[in-house]
Amino acid sequence: MSSFIETYNCRLGSVNPNKYLISSREDLSRCLVSAELAHHNEALLDIATRVEFLSEIHAQIIYHKEALFEVYSTESSLGRLRFNAEFDRTLKQLNAYRDAAIALSIQKNKSILPDRTISKKPMPLGPIAVFGASNFPLAYATLGGDVMGAFAAGCPVIVKGHPLHAGTSLLSAKLIYNAREKLNLHPGVFGHVLDDGFDIGQTLVQDPRIKGCGFTGSFSGGMALYRLTQNRKDPIPCFAEMGSINPVIILPNEQGLSIHLNSLVQSITTDAGQFCTKPGVLFCPNSMLPEALKILDYAFKKAAPHPMLHPSVQERYHCKLEEITRNFDGKSYLSTEKEFGITRGFFQVSIEQFLKNPSLQQELFGPTAVIVAYDTSDELLRGLAPLKGQLTITLIGENPETSVFFKWACTHAGRVILNGVPTGVSVVANMHHGGPFPASTDDRFSAVGEASIQRFIRYVSVQNSVST
């Protein structure tokens, strides 16, 4: 194994010039010792300190915007528009957590009984390990929701940076170090390690000094880390936000098929379909199928080409497509665009074909979807049966809330979209980003929106306190 990480620019088809040192176990050990000390010294317990820290990180991010863009775009091949959206979202999220921390600290919470009073105090869990995903180098990474949510809760954080955007992660870490130094905070409030394998990350989550884990990424990665945290002598909460296939149900009463399908294709192909909320399977009434196929085929062919994040992501995607095609008895409408060589399009199957091919029922991380034709509601319910917990479910049609599928959607997803597209997660108080397993390991909590700081808080009741 090499001791450096290289990143890749898929737009240029070349390796980036900078190399990043892989952390050793000794580096990790130093971070852990320091994080534990920071927690014991209550480095982030004081609410004013937390607010100052988050505000200073906010200022650092704004000041270094262009430097962030440069490294972000060369490592991920994501463009300016996407960067701006993620950048704004990162700042908005940070502000929301800061405000939520303030709100939590001033909440008066006292039960008055005849012979005693009981008050409740939010406490930071302790040092938190965070793993981000490859496809959000800002919003689900070192400056992302899990890290800022844990700070807002008063917890020190150790990030295992993503190797596909190692430079972005290191620059992000530097901005947090700058803020920490400027405010003269304990060095252990933040640590950062890099690895090109699993050793450092797995050691991190098993260390007894770590008290919680925030993960965003694949099902296999999330479950590997979740199992490790649950098999510790002292199991800890592990909030793994994973992928899903995000079903879309087109109802038989739909009147504006063309508008919706064009929006859906845009949602499937934007940034080469590398979104956890990308719609991956569309259920369409048989009566609308001929028209739908024409619209979809045309829309996919005219969609703007976009490179993938990394050659390894691209290779995995094309291998999965090949695997599906090999065991496939439906029709495929796939074509490979010339600029970056990415295959896009859709598979068309009947309910029966969908049911007998499990690989069509799983997330395909790239610009493809499956269209499944159905005749009756019963047939559709049979087709939906193998689909487990989802991040999102979308219903398209007239008054979808009155349909029986609305109830099904609410029990199977963290977010239900009516006549819209699932990509584009707004950072607002009422956002729930998560979903029943296997979309996430704990769907009572959200990874986005201010409620997410609750994941890193424990409560203590104090009887007869005079201060609250």
Catalytic residues: 241, 276
Smaller CB distance to ligand NAP: residue 69 or 365? Answer: 365
Q: Does 363 bind ligand NAP (CB under 6 A)?
A: yes
Least distance in angstroms from the C-beta of 274 to ligand NAP: 7
Q: Which stretch binds ligand NAP (CB under 6 A): 241-249, 290-298, 330-338, 366-374?
A: 241-249
Six token digits for residue 34:
């320091």
Six token digits for residue 49:
């300190």
Smaller CB distance to ligand NAP: residue 220 or 376? Answer: 220
Least distance in angstroms from the C-beta of 217 to ligand NAP: 3
Give 31's contacts (C-beta < 8 A, 6+ positions apart).
158, 188, 191, 192, 193
Q: Which stretch binds ligand NAP (CB under 6 A): 103-111, 155-163, 184-192, 319-327?
A: 155-163
Smaller CB distance to ligand NAP: residue 201 or 449? Answer: 201
Strand 117-124 to 457-463 pairing: antiparallel
What are the helix and strand counts (H, E) for the chain?
14, 17
Residue selected from 72, 226, 300, 365 as contacting ligand NAP according to rule CB under 6 A: 365
Cα 105 → chain centroid: 27
Six token digits for residue 119:
């008050």
Smaller CB distance to ligand NAP: residue 163 or 449? Answer: 163
Six token digits for residue 236:
């800890």
Residue selected from 77, 119, 134, 403 as contacting ligand NAP according to rule CB under 6 A: 134
Q: Does 50 bind ligand NAP (CB under 6 A)?
A: no
Residue selected from 73, 90, 119, 135 as contacting ligand NAP according to rule CB under 6 A: 135
- First and final C-alpha spacing in the chain: 55
Smaller CB distance to ligand NAP: residue 142 or 353? Answer: 142
Are 212 and 247 spatial neighbours (Cβ–Cβ below 8 Å)?
no
Six token digits for residue 30:
């130093």
Q: Does 243 bind ligand NAP (CB under 6 A)?
A: yes
Starting at the earlier edge strand, list the strands of the sheet with 343-350. Answer: 331-336, 343-350, 368-374, 281-285, 247-250, 390-396, 413-418
Smaller CB distance to ligand NAP: residue 343 or 441? Answer: 441
Residues counted in the chain: 468
- Specify the amino acid at residue 424: G
Smaller CB distance to ligand NAP: residue 22 or 101? Answer: 22
CA distance 414 to 437: 10
Subset of 157-216 contacting ligand NAP (CB under 6 A): 160, 162-163, 195-196, 198, 201-202, 216
Q: Does 306 bind ligand NAP (CB under 6 A)?
A: no
Six token digits for residue 204:
């991190």
Subset of 16-45 contacting ligand NAP (CB under 6 A): none
Which one-letter DSSP state was computed for residue 29? H
Subset of 71-110 contacting ligand NAP (CB under 6 A): none
Q: Does 367 bind ligand NAP (CB under 6 A)?
A: no
SS3 content of the chain, % helix, strand, coil (to 5): 45, 20, 35
Residue selected from 225, 245, 342, 370 as contacting ligand NAP according to rule CB under 6 A: 225
Subset of 387-406 contacting ligand NAP (CB under 6 A): 391
Least distance in angstroms from the C-beta of 143 to ligand NAP: 15
Helices marked H in 191-246: 199-206, 219-230
Residue selected from 141, 189, 245, 447 as contacting ligand NAP according to rule CB under 6 A: 447
DSSP 3-state of 30: helix
Strand 157-161 to 190-194 pairing: parallel
Q: What are phi and psi of 2, to 5 degrees?
A: -75, 160
CA distance 366 to 343: 9
Q: How many residues bind ligand NAP (CB under 6 A)?
A: 29
CA distance 133 to 467: 42
Least distance in angstroms from the C-beta of 279 to ligand NAP: 12
Q: Which stretch binds ligand NAP (CB under 6 A): 7-15, 45-53, 127-135, 338-346?
A: 127-135
Contact footprint for ligand NAP (CB under 6 A): 131, 133-136, 140, 160, 162-163, 195-196, 198, 201-202, 216-218, 221, 224-225, 241-243, 276, 363, 365, 391, 433, 447
